[in-house]
Chains A and B, each alone.
Chain A
Amino acid sequence: MMRKFVVGLLLAAAALAFGLGSAFAHHGNASYDAKNVTVKATVTAWIWSNPHTILKFDATDEKGNIVHWIGEWDAPPTLVNFGVTPKSIKAGDLVTVTMDAVAKSGQPVGRVRKVVLPDGDVLSMGNEK
């Protein structure tokens, strides 16, 4: 019981530390499981929109299937302060995407935390695990 409590406390502290509760202002986390997923992928679309930016990317799973991922990231007025702009990413880029939460449903939908660009530059808000 105590162990569960301590683990819960640590998870809560981690969530606070990484801003899980606040990053996505009016959309919450109820659709997601906190889980780190990193995939190498080809960008199919980078949509600079409110309330959240959307990154679409195709990755190949372990069975060789192409998975059409949808990633949501923070809103434009937040991302611009972290060096991320509409021109940071473009369709066709070969990238490595790290997500810190994925859909509970099992659908390939997640929350983006970091994108490594073809030239090795890293896009992030500094809150990735």
Chain B
Amino acid sequence: MSIRPTLLTLLLTGMFCASGAYAQDSAPPDDQNAKRVSGVNIHRGGWDRIVPTEPADQTSGPAPLRDLSGTWEPTPGFRDGVFSQGPKEYPADGKPEHDLPFTPLGLQKFKENKPGQGAFAVPIAAANDPFLICDPLGFPRIELFNLRAMRVFQNKSQVDFIYQNDQAYRTVWMDGRSLPKEILESRWYGYSVGKWTDDYTFVIETVGMDERTWIDNVGRPHSEELKVTEIWHRVSHDILELTLTIDDPKMYTKQWTAINKFRMRLRPDWFDIHEMVCSASEAQQYLQTVADEAAAEKKADSEKKK
């Protein structure tokens, strides 16, 4: 009599495996005592639990309707969203095809920014990146630099994003409200509204970002007129894609898409996000201990302690 459930189980298991998904609800591995190996990348969550190896293909079972909830990480590599040299479609590598359509003001502001990365990088001791002193990354930089794990909660009126980097969060309203007609108070992470354009595509518009923030890690500037559009497309149960477009007529003569269909993968329910906080004291320690020391004049041998 037990053959039916067994067959059903096998059938469902087979379908699940064939879909390329890995078990979201599987029990976390008990690997606290597993021998730690260095030199190879074995992905671990915040509680030191090893994350299952991703399936080689990018497909999985069908996506749930109108649902972004879960914990997501860039794929195929969890560090693929670091974008240290600028966002994927427009890295600051000096190639003409990656030059942005700056207005004269935009170019002036870009030159005033002194990043630590990209074709126009300066030594850290000379950089003026606001994140060096742990000013908030703000939006959209939180998605265009060091986009790592991201947890999404949603209910009928809002979607909340929590980012690993700097433990920042933002709220996207989908209760029918419109974007503010006038920005009385700019915010690091702006004002966001979103709507489902179909059962798998959520489109967010954000305005009102604080002008002190950079768009990305290489110092692309923005004005108070910046409007960012995100298209989150749930391709399947396990895969989410992000396309992010910048529109700021004061700084750029036309819109530009910073990342296009950038893929993130759903993590198991037990996945804990590793802490990654910009601590002011740790940042200061880094600047004094490493950056300032690297930039200092070489000490004479006689001054070195014996």
Q: Please tell me if B40 contacts chain A, counting CB pairs below 8 Å.
A: yes
The chain A residue sitting closest to B40, CB to CB, is A126
Size bin of chain B's contact surface? 35 or more
Inter-chain contacts of A88 with B (CB < 8 A): 38
| Contact yes or no, A31 B291, CB < 8 A | yes
Q: Please tell me if B217 contacts chain A, counting CB pairs below 8 Å.
A: yes
- Number of A residues near B (Cβ < 8 Å) is 48
**CB proximity of A84 to chain B, nearest CB, Å:** 6
**CB proximity of B124 to chain A, nearest CB, Å:** 5
Per-residue A-contact encoding for B195-237, CB less than 8 Å = 1, 0 else? 0000000000000000000000100000000000000000000
Per-residue A-contact encoding for B115-144, CB less than 8 Å = 1, 0 else? 111100111110001011000000000000
**CB proximity of B76 to chain A, nearest CB, Å:** 14
**CB proximity of A89 to chain B, nearest CB, Å:** 11
Interface of A is mostly: loop
| Contact yes or no, B116 A28, CB < 8 A | yes
Please measure, in the bound complex, the distance between the C-alpha atom of A30 and the C-alpha atom of B295, giving whole angstroms.
10
Inter-chain contacts of B301 with A (CB < 8 A): 63, 65
Q: Please tell me if B43 contacts chain A, counting CB pairs below 8 Å.
A: yes
| Contact yes or no, A32 B38, CB < 8 A | no
Q: Please tell me if B109 contacts chain A, counting CB pairs below 8 Å.
A: no
Please measure, in the bound complex, the distance between the C-alpha atom of A126 and the C-alpha atom of B37, giving whole angstroms.
11
Q: Please tell me if B153 contacts chain A, counting CB pairs below 8 Å.
A: no
Interface residues of B (CB under 8 A from A): 36-44, 48, 78-79, 82, 84-85, 115-118, 121-125, 129, 131-132, 145-146, 148, 164, 217, 274-279, 282-283, 285-286, 289-291, 293-299, 301, 304-306
